[in-house]
């Protein structure tokens, strides 16, 4: 009987891992990825409310702009993903050039990058990170602290963002700890967010990793 229980637990763990992989990356304040899977459950376990998304796109605060944009060709999500990754890589190169005194390092001040920390001693270069894109389906509102559904409709309306997470907890070269940083992204959400009348709300997304040196060292 114990062996059956163990087998059953392993089976449930495998199912959970499969569901997690289908849902895409699980960030601290956002999860699910409309590009990887469409059946990611919400915070209460219910399926993604596509009927509410479709209704909001037809009669909600974005309906007018949606009607005006019907004649506009939808950008291929794969092209958008590639553009986001190339832009993020360019910003990272700009940050490195800033530290070497190159003028083109202004890219490090563009939105989406964490501001430089004068006590970080090199910042992200001392902490190994990984980055990718995601089209999150759920998130936690920065303004209310409540779960929200992020509007995603493939391929007509995909709100893709770049995330960058720490892969190490300790800095390289010097003694210190790696700290995750975040940036607020403005998404179209359900229920309608309190930030604007257009149903938008802020959700924090991982934006990089900085090294905080050990004061003892």
> Given this structure, which CATH class describes domain 27-71+117-213?
mainly beta
CA atoms within 13 A on the CB side of 172: 10
- Joined together, the tokens standing for residue 46 give 């219910």
CA 54 to chain centre: 23
Terminal Cα distance for the chain, rounded: 55
Task: Note the pLDDT tens digit of each residue in 201-216.
Answer: 999 999 999 999 988 7
d(CA 182, CA 159): 17
Comparing 27-31, 131-135, 169-173, the range with the smallest average pLDDT is 169-173
Q: Tokens 């967010």 sit at which residue?
A: 193
pLDDT digits (tens, 9 = 90+) for 81-104: 888 888 888 776 655 444 334 333
Distance CA 169, CA 164 (A): 14
Pairing of β 138-140 and β 30-31: antiparallel
pTM of the model: 0.69
């Amino acid at each position: 009987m114990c062996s059956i229980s163990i087998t059953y637990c392993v089976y449930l763990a495998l199912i959970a891992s499969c569901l997690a992989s289908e849902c895409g990356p699980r960030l601290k304040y956002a999860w699910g990825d409309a590009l990887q899977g469409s059946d990611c459950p919400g915070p209460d376990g219910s399926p993604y409310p596509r009927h509410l998304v479709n209704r909001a796109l037809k009669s909600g605060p974005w309906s007018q702009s949606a009607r005006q944009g019907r004649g506009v060709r939808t950008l291929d999500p794969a092209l958008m993903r590639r553009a986001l990754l190339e832009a993020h890589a360019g910003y990272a190169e700009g940050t490195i050039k800033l530290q070497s005194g190159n003028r083109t390092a202004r890219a490090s001040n563009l939105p989406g990058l964490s501001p430089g920390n004068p006590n970080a001693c090199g910042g992200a270069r001392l902490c190994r990170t990984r980055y990718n894109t995601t089209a999150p389906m759920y998130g936690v509102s920065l303004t209310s602290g409540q779960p929200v559904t992020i509007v995603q409709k493939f391929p007509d309306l995909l709100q893709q963002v770049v995330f960058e997470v720490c892969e190490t907890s300790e800095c390289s070269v010097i003694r210190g700890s790696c700290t995750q940083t975040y940036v607020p992204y403005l998404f179209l959400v359900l229920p309608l967010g309190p930030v604007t009348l257009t149903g938008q709300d802020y959700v924090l997304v991982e934006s990089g990793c900085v090294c905080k040196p050990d004061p003892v060292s």
